[in-house]
Chains A and B, each alone.
Chain A
C-alpha cells in the first residue's frame, strides 16, 4: 500500500479539524476547539485501483502571531487548503500560506475547499474570489464538514492528484 502525507491548512476556525473528523470518524461537532500543534490521523482511500494510506496532518490554523511551522510541511505530497466560505478574510490567509508552502515544498498539488457550504445565508465568496482562486489551476470544492457534503471527494481528489499519472 502507498502511504502519503498530506497537510490540511488554512486560517483558524475554517473547519480543518472538522473536515478531518468528518472524513476519518464521520463525526461533526458544533463546538469549536482551536487546534494546538498538529494532530495526525490516518485513513485509507481507494483511488484508481490503488489503496492510499493518507496520513493527514491537521495543523493549527494560521494566525498573525501563530504561524504554521514550516517543519510540519516537510515531506507533504499534497495540501488541502481550507477557506471559510462565510469569512472572506480567510481567502487572503490561504493565499499567504500557499505562498509559504510553495517556497518550502515547490510545486505540490493543492485542493481548495470552500467550507461551511451549509451556511448559505452567510456565504460571502463572490465571483471575483472564485476567479482569483481558479487562476491557481487547483481544483476548488464546496464542502461542509457539518453535512459531510463533498468531504470524501475532497480527500480522494487530493489523493488522486498525488498519484503518478
Chain B
C-alpha cells in the first residue's frame, strides 16, 4: 500500500529473482532435473555440467535466457499443483518481506484509519469528553470512564466487493461522519493483504490494535464486519461477532449479491448489529453483559442509588448503627461534589469508592457527626471537578477573588457578576472565570464600572492568568455602554473622608446627597470642608448644624 510496502514488495521480488535466476545452485538443480530424463548421458553430463555452466555463463547469458521460460513454467506448474508447498519453500525468503509489507500496509491503514478516527476520537472525542466534564452528562460519563472495562464504539458493516458501507452504528453520532471512508480504507487494506498472500483466499487481517482501540474484523463471503472497541473485549465477544456475520450473510445473501450502492435495504440491519454495541464496567458481575452503553450508564448510576438504598433491604442486625450509616450515606450523597460509585464491606470495614471534588466537604469529617467510627471507613476517592453550581461558584471565587462590592451567582451555567468594580478587575475576572469548568457564559452587564481615582476603594487584587491553559471560547455578556456609576453610600463616604481628611473629633454621615458633619473641628478645617465637599460628585449639600468649633484651635 505505501511506497515502502511497494518498494518492499519490489525488493522482495528482486531478491526472489536473484534467488531463482542468478544463484547457480538453483539453476543447477533445475538443470539436473531437466537432464535426469536423459539417463544415458546423465552421469557424463553431470561430470562436466558445473564446469560447462560456468564457462557458458562467462561467455554470455544465453544459458540463463533459454532456461528462464522452463523455470518459469515449472514454478507455475508447481504453484498450480500445490501452492502451499511452494509458499512454504519460499516463506523463509518471502515471509519477512511479506510480513514487513503487511506491517507497512497496516501502518498505512492505521495512518488513514488513525487520521479519520483521530479526527473523530481524539479531537472531537476529547472535546466531547471535555465537554462532558462541563455538562450535566459528566456525572455518568465520569463514572463510566473510570469503571470502563471495554466499550464497543463503532460497528461497520461493509460490502466486501465494493468496500462500500452498508450500515454503521456508533455510540457517538459524531463518529458517523467519516465512516464510509474508514470502511473503504479497511477494505483496501484487506484486499491488498489478500493479494499479497497469493493463493490463499481468506487470509485477511482479523485484528488491528492502536493504542486503546481495537478493530476486530470478521469476514463473510459478501460482507465484512469491523467492530471498533475501546479496552479489552472478552473472547466470547469474537464468537458473537462471528455468529452475527454468519447470520447476516444467510439472511441477506440476495441483497448482497444485488447490491448496487443503495443502502436502504440494510436499515433493518440495526436489530442484528445493535446487540454488538455493548460495554462492560468493573461494577458488573459478569464480563459479557448485553445492553447498550446508555443502559450501562444507567446501570452505573443506578448502582449508586442501589448502594445507597441497600440498607433498606439488607438484614437489619443493628438498627441504630444501620440508621446512622444510612443517614451518613444519605448525607454524603446529597453533598455537592461527592459521587459514590461503590461500597464494599471487607473485614468489618467499609470501603467507599467514588469521586470527590477537592472543594467539597471531606466525607471523612462528616462521619463523627453521625456517631460513626472513622477508623472503620476507608475512602478511595478520585478527584474530579464537580459541576454543581455551588462548587463551581466556589472555584470561581477562589480564582477571581471578588471584592466586597461584588456579588457572584451561578445559574444554569451562567456566572452573573454584579455590584461595583473597577474596569481592570472586571476584565481580569471575566478572563479568569472563563477557565472554570461549568462556567458557560458570564453576565457582567449588572456591574457598575467605577472609574474612581481613590486608591482605597476595595479593589484590584491581581489575578494570575499566566498559569492557565489557552483561552477557552465562552461568551461574556457585557454592557457595551459605560454604566452610570451607581456607587454605595459607603464608598462615597470613603471618598469624602479621603478628600476632607476629617480630624478624629468629627463624625461624618452621608445620605442621599447630603453630608452631615457633627462633632468638633477647627475653623480652618470647617472652612476647608465647606469649600471642598462638592468636589465629591455625589455630595450636593453640606449639613453642619451639629458641628462646632468651640475649644478648637
Contact = CB atoms under 8 A, between A and B. Distances in A.
Interface residues of A, number: 29
A31 interface: no
A46 interface: no
B260 interface: yes
Interface in B82-109: 105, 108
Given A1-B263, A4-B261, A75 B163 contact: yes
A25 interface: no
B10 A74 contact: no
Instruction: Give the dominant DSSP class at B's interface.
Output: helix
A156 B308 CA distance: 63
Given A37-B192, A72-B191, A74-B191, A42 B261 contact: no
B195 A55 contact: no
A40 B185 contact: yes
B180 A36 contact: no
Interface string B257-281: 0001111000000000000000000
Contacts of A164: 260
Given A1-B263, A3-B261, A38 B163 contact: no
A152 B34 CA distance: 60
Interface in B174-200: 178, 180-181, 184-185, 188, 191-192, 194-195
Nearest to A2: B261
Interface stretch (B1-9, B337-345, B376-384, B464-472): B1-9
Contacts of B194: 71
Interface in A1-29: 1-5
A71 B162 contact: no
Contacts of A5: 162-164, 184
A48 to B, nearest CB: 14
B142 to A, nearest CB: 35
Nearest to B116: A40
Contacts of B195: 69-71
B261 A37 contact: no
A66 B10 contact: yes
A3 B105 contact: no
A37 B10 contact: no
Q: Which among A3, A4, A74 has the greatest number of chain B C-beta atoms within 10 A? A: A3
A38 B260 CA distance: 22
28 contacts: A1-B263, A3-B162, A3-B164, A5-B164, A37-B3, A37-B5, A37-B105, A37-B192, A38-B1, A38-B188, A42-B178, A42-B184, A52-B261, A55-B163, A57-B184, A60-B6, A69-B191, A69-B195, A71-B195, A72-B188, A72-B191, A72-B192, A74-B161, A74-B163, A74-B191, A75-B159, A75-B161, A77-B261
Interface of A: 1-5, 34, 36-42, 52-53, 55, 57, 60, 65-66, 69-72, 74-77, 164
Interface of B: 1-6, 10, 105, 108, 112, 159, 161-165, 178, 180-181, 184-185, 188, 191-192, 194-195, 260-263
Given A36-B3, A37-B3, 8 more contacts: A2-B262, A34-B3, A37-B105, A53-B180, A57-B188, A69-B195, A70-B195, A74-B161
